[in-house]
Chain A
Amino acid sequence: MTNLLEVVDLRTSFDTERGTVTAVDGASFTVAPGEVVGIVGESGCGKSVTAESILQLLDPASTTYSGQVRFGGEDLLTFGETAMRRIRGNRISMIFQDPMSALNPVFTIGDQLTEAILAHRRIGKQRARSEATELLEKTGIPEPQRRMRQYPHQLSGGQRQRVMIAMALSCDPELLIADEPTTALDVTTQSQILKLLIELKDEFDAGILFITHDLGVVAEICDRVVVMYLGEVVESANVHTLFDSPAHPYTRGLLASTPDIASDPSIDLPIIPGTVPTLHNVPVGCRFADRCSFVLPECRDRPIDLEVLSDGHSSRCIRSVKLFEDSAMSDGVAR
């Protein structure tokens, strides 16, 4: 199957007052039609910047992109603003973490949905409105007719996220980017929204790039997973491979510190020691070295390459082959 999206060696840098920082450093991954690919990692590792780079949503004055974002046979990074506008919301849509502020407070739900539809399609206002109502109905909001006339503040967080999903799907996109769409919601609402996303993905046959820091969510909906650390992809694998035999110490740390997934719930969850270094002093060698319990002196010498371990599984760690072999017996993190 040909890929829908191919991100090749994506590098996104910002000019800041303290010099240039590279928030995404050589990320590569793919999304096939109908596939859900997760991007996971701790806060600040560059997940959102990766998503925003695909759509070029970052401030053009201070952002530099390099690499390729191949979509539909073309490299989106060569597109100008006008060409990108025809992609955004039309062929690639995005939903955001914060459903509270993702809708304009001064317009009704119906107006905003209709406006989103009319932005890309030449149909009458009446038709756009009735399509908007249908979409709302599909997302399972009770009384869609009434919701159309309501303002965002009259809806709950979960309902607003459903509205955002309806809006994102309004132009039948090929790819949906979801940036932590359930983080702000309670657990029950979260699983309802996830279920809805999967149902709609099948109906619309879209690929999904799903950003989260919650491995529990990844286990629930993703087919493949890309793990990021400090701007780099450190491991990418099929979801089963990732959970059964994680190769990178960082992935193991994440898994071990996730409730429900950690092997023995009675043990205190280990946390990965230390914090993520800032983008202003990125280590020369392995970026995870300071926090890694498997660290060797040679880890710090030079940048580590992403190594292919098996078909569709790669890891950025000089010890990963060894660890990968051991992982069946290891219980996660070295203590």
Chain B
Amino acid sequence: MTDTMTVGSLNRINKTYSRRSMFLRRFGAHKLAVTGGIVLAVVVLVALIGPLLAGDPLALNPSQRLASPSFEHPFGTDNYGRDTFARAVAGARVSLLVGAVTAIITSVLGAIVGLFASYNRIADAILMRISDGLMAFPAILLAIAIMAAMGQRISNVIIALSIVFTPYVARIVRSAALVAKEQTYVEALRSQGASLFRILWINIFPNILSPLIIQATFVFADSIITEAALSFLGAGVPPPAPSWGNMLLDGKTLIYNAWWMTVFPGAFIMSTILAVNLLGDGLRDLLDPTFNRRK
């Protein structure tokens, strides 16, 4: 199924070698995408093995309050004497988890809603009006409202972000499917007695996979930012569990005394978002059939 990733570029590629190797070769040549991929891989690695190296992110140590970066505490400590490095690394797990799970949920929901809307006018009218309504709110306000209604839990953060971002994905999928639907092969399939299910999921779905993958990377980045913003506003991941956002919140009042409390989580957020966006941009270039790579 990986073959279907380059679907869009198909018509241009009139060569016989496999589309997968073609894609990998072009990806390798795309410096920004490669950079984004490497940085993201490092962050993921840190999130995975970091907690084994760093100490307990929740361990209080009153004698070591607000210690500046040292060999023992490379990122310093916070106002409870907790190790900032351990907390940032634990926060990476939270952020990546929230980003990845939200990206997966919105992709699945967005694909279902978008494809269905592309095929049924009544469903389209209803679903698109609902999504217009959701999109009319600034994402962060809507997320705060949902969190306020459901209570502060990581799972609720994911649910709130999924509600916020699904309409964006559904729109992209819908418009891609509307284009695919106009192709003669869809009419040909109908003339062969294909069911709606077979047309939508077996035949149109692979043709919308590239925009969906690209959109998923942006949702991934946006949910990390939005989660950080929510936590910063005190409506996200509840303390004492660390997240990059609530670490910024904790550091805010002490920024003149202990810059390390904000700079390190801030740097993590920035580099992760940058990496994911680079990757997403790169994928867009690589998967877009109308994109002609310059020499």
Is there a chain A Cβ closer than 8 Å to B49's Cβ? no
In angstroms, Cα B16 to Cα A84, docked, is 39
What residues of A have a CB within 8 angstroms of the CB of B198 in the complex?
115, 119
Can you report 9 residue pairs joining A to B where beta carbons are below 8 Å apart?
A87-B193, A89-B192, A89-B194, A93-B191, A102-B184, A105-B207, A116-B192, A153-B10, A167-B188
Q: In this assembly, does A57 line the interface, its C-beta being within 8 Å of a C-beta of chain B?
A: yes
Q: Which residues of B does A touch, CB under 8 Å?
A: 3-4, 7, 10-11, 13-14, 16, 121, 183-185, 187-195, 198, 202-203, 206-207
Q: A106-B7, A153-B11, A154-B16 are in contact. Are A88 and B191 (CB under 8 A)?
A: yes
Interface pair A89/B193, CB less than 8 Å apart:
yes
Task: Report the separation of the CA atoms of residues A298 and B187 in the bound assembly, to the nearest whole angstrom.
Answer: 43
- Alpha-carbon distance between A167 and B184 when the two chains are bound, in angstroms: 15
Partner of B203, one of A61, A89, A104: A104
When the two chains form the complex, which single residue of A94, A119, A153, A167 contacts B13, counting CB atoms closer than 8 Å?
A: A153
A120 touches B (CB below 8 Å): yes
- By beta carbon, the residue of chain B nearest A51 is B191
Report which A residues bind B (CB closer than 8 A): 55, 57, 61, 84-90, 93-94, 96-98, 101-107, 115-116, 119-120, 151, 153-154, 164, 167-168
With the chains together, A127 CA to B174 CA distance in Å? 36
User: A89-B192, A153-B10 are known contacts; what are 4 more A-B pairs with Cβ within 8 Å?
Assistant: A86-B193, A88-B192, A90-B193, A164-B188
B192 close to A96 (CB less than 8 A): no
Contact B11 A105 (CB under 8 A): yes
Contact A101 B185 (CB under 8 A): yes
Nearest A residue to B11, CB-CB? A153
Q: Hey, which chain B residues are within 8 Å of A55, CB to CB?
A: 190-191
Interface residue from A101, A106, A167 paired with B192 (Cβ < 8 Å): A167
A120 and B189 CA atoms in complex are apart in Å by 13
Residues on A with beta carbons closer than 8 Å to the beta carbon of B190: 55, 57, 88
| A107: chain B residues within 8 A (beta carbon) | 203, 206
With A57-B187, A96-B187, A98-B184 as given contacts, are A105 and B10 in contact (CB-CB < 8 Å)?
yes
Give the chain A neighbours of B189 by CB distance below 8 A. 104
Quick one: given A61-B121, A87-B193, A120-B193, are A96 and B188 in contact (CB under 8 Å)?
yes
Asked whether, in the complex, the Cβ of A85 is within 8 Å of the Cβ of B121, the reply is: no
* Residue among B4, B7, B14, B188 with most chain A CB within 10 A: B188
In the complex formed, the residue of B with least CB distance to A55 is: B191
Give the shortest distance, in Å, between B103 (CB) and chain A (any CB). Answer: 23
- Contact (Cβ within 8 A) A119 B11: no
Q: Which residues of A contact B194 (CB under 8 A)?
A: 85, 89, 119
Closest A-B pairs by Cβ, 3 of them: A89-B192, A88-B193, A89-B193
Known pairs A85-B195, A86-B193, A154-B16; A102 contacts B188 (CB<8 A): yes
In the complex the two chains form, is A106's CB within 8 Å of B207's CB?
Answer: yes
Looking at A105, A119, A154, the one whose CB has the most chain B CB atoms below 10 A away is: A105
Contacts of B193 in A (CB 8 A): 84-90, 119-120
CA distance A116 to B198 in the complex (A): 11
Q: B185–A102 contact, CB under 8 A?
A: yes
Expressed in whole angstroms, the minimum distance between the Cβ of B16 and any Cβ of chain A is: 7
C-alpha gap A98/B195 in the complex (Å): 22
Tell me the smallest distance from the CB of A62 to a CB of chain B, in Å. Answer: 9
Question: By the criterion CB–CB under 8 Å, are B195 and A89 in contact?
Answer: no
Instruction: Evaluate contact between A106 and B121: CB separation under 8 angstroms.
Output: no
- Contact across chains for A119 and B192 when beta carbons are under 8 A apart: yes
Cα A36 to Cα B250 with chains together (Å): 82
User: How far does the Cβ of B250 sit from chain A's closest Cβ, in whole Å?
Assistant: 50
Question: Given contacts A61-B121, A153-B11, A153-B14, is CB(A103)–CB(B192) below 8 Å?
Answer: no
> B191 contacts A104, CB within 8 Å?
no
Q: Which residues of A contact B3 (CB under 8 A)?
A: 106
- For the complex formed, measure the closest distance between the CB of B151 and the CB atoms of chain A, giving whole angstroms: 43
**Closest chain A residue, CB of each to CB of B186:** A104
Instruction: Evaluate contact between A105 and B192: CB separation under 8 angstroms.
Output: no
Q: Which residues of A contact B206 (CB under 8 A)?
A: 104, 106-107
B121 → chain A, closest Cβ, in Å?
5
Cα–Cα distance between A151 and B10 once the two chains are bound (Å): 9
Task: Tell me the smallest distance from the CB of A209 to a CB of chain B, in Å.
Answer: 13
Q: Write out the residue numbers on chain A whose beta carbons fall within 8 Å of the beta carbon of B195.
A: 85
Would you give the shortest CB distance from A208 to chain B, in whole angstroms? 15
Contacts of B187 in A (CB 8 A): 57, 96
Interfacial chain A residues near B183, Cβ < 8 Å? 101, 104
Which listed residue (A97, A104, A154, A168) contacts B185, Cβ 8 A? A104
* Distance A168 CA – B193 CA, assembled complex (angstroms): 11
Please, which residues of chain B bring their CB within 8 A of the CB of A120? Answer: 193
Nearest residue, chain B, Cβ from A87: B193
A96 touches B184 (CB 8 A): yes
Partner of A89, one of B4, B184, B185, B191: B191
> In the assembled complex, how far is the CB of residue A11 from the closest CB belonging to chain B, in whole angstroms?
21
Whole-angstrom distance between the alpha carbons of A102 and B188 in the complex? 6
Could you tell me the distance between the alpha carbons of A200 and B203 in the complex, rounded to whole angstroms? 28
Q: How far is the CA of A89 from the CA of B190 in the complex (A)?
A: 8
Across the interface, which residues of B come within 8 angstroms of A101, CB to CB? 183-185
B7 / chain A contacts, CB cutoff of 8 Å: 105-106
